[in-house]
Structure 1
Amino acid sequence: MKNLVLCLGMVFSFIASSCSLDNRSSNEEPQINSSWILKNTSGGITGINDNFNTRDVMWDFNESNHTLKVTKNVNTTGSGIPAGTYSYSIKKDGKTSTLEIKQLNVIYARLTYAFLNENGVVFKDDALADGFQYTFVENYCEDIICALEARPGLNVFVKLGNSSTSTTDGVTVVATSGNYKETLMPIPFPDNNPTFAGAHEKEATYILTVSKSGYKTYTSSPITVTGDCCHVMTETINVFLQPN
């Protein structure tokens, strides 16, 4: 009987402590132990303001062994520390939280951080007054299984005059975004409506130039291609070329 009472006491004690932990955790700041993707970098001596796509830069924190894995598909000044695996520790001084990133036990970077909300966090260079500010959002894509295909960011139908059907015959379609330039490929399409496709899995803002001998060259307004967790969201554009 004593053993039964003791066991019941331990059970109630465990339930009570669990409730206490749940109540406390609801008031604490979100945990940094997660996967985060870089969305924006601002600041620096030149005052940059760079936006990044979903798959460009990702920081994976592992609290169990205090490691930070940085994965990068871009290499610009604003993309932050180089790709690799680092050790890290968190220091707190009053309301200030500091992330110390180490490589071979030597501090590589020291960043103060603050949560915007449960899905966003901002890291700031601690050492320099004119350092960078990195804005991350939680990587909600990490558990999603994506189809193994490359989707076009741009799908362009070119029609001559007031024709109701499109053509690729003798037509050139070029997409530019900054220093990036791509000639879109003609693709057969059902119902005799061929199209031009390109910018596969490349989020950016593009300008289209469409040309054909005997017709006025068409230049588009900026077209922004965005993406979800897996693929770009294809932008479909209809272009009507007019004779010279």
Structure 2
Amino acid sequence: MKRVLYITILIIVLGCSGDDDTNVIIPLTGVDGVWNLINVTGGFVGTDHDFESGLITWDFEESSQTVTITNNNTDNTLEDSFPSGTYTYTIITAQGGNQEMLVDGRNIGNFELTSNQFTLDETFRDGFRFIFRR
């Protein structure tokens, strides 16, 4: 029932917006819970690295819009996003309809979610593509 309410509010907010340049914050995404960073690709040099499940986890708490990152990677030569810590996060719908995730105020790319996987993709600006699984 809560999901229907959030979707209805989202439709109203999107439908009433007269300014196409305004980002809309998405209140409920289904990202709640623990996710494992399993792969990083991209970057200027063409990184492609798989991480063992559980080595780097992101634990999302939608009600407080925080993510607790546990990063146990000890290889400093590998791109692994953020160090361990608790950060705020926001998912916005940007101009053109793409959803993007901001962590600690930093836009870390396009956000795409399925039932057991999500990706953060900033390869359009020579960044990285991060793949997470439950």
TM-score by length of 1: 0.40
Question: Structure 1 63/30 Cα, relative in aligned 2: closer, same or farther at 3 Å?
Answer: closer
Alignment of 1:149-228 (within 5 A): none
Query: When the two structures are aligned, how many residues end up with a matched partner?
Result: 109
**Equivalent residue for 1:89?**
90
CA distance in 1, matches of 2:121, 2:57: 16
1:98 is displaced (CA, Å) by 0.9
SS at match of 2:54: coil
**Equivalent residue for 1:158?**
none
CA distance in 2, matches of 1:111, 1:70: 17
- Structure (1 or 2) with the larger CA radius of gyration: 1
**Equivalent residue for 1:62?**
61
Q: Deviations over 1:200-228 (max 9, x none)?
A: xxxxxxxxxxxxxxxxxxxxxxxxxxxxx
Q: Give the unaligned 5+ runs of structure 2.
A: 8-27
8 Å CA contact 1:30, 1:118 repeated in 2: no
Over aligned residues, Cα RMSD in angstroms? Answer: 2.4
CA distance in 1, matches of 2:37, 2:97: 24
**Equivalent residue for 1:136?**
132
Q: Give the unaligned 5+ runs of structure 1.
A: 1-17, 139-244
Alignment of 1:118-137 (within 5 A): 118-125=115-122, 129-137=125-133
8 Å CA contact 2:108, 2:120 repeated in 1: no
**Equivalent residue for 1:113?**
111
SS at match of 1:78: coil
**Runs of 4+ displaced beyond 4 Å:** none
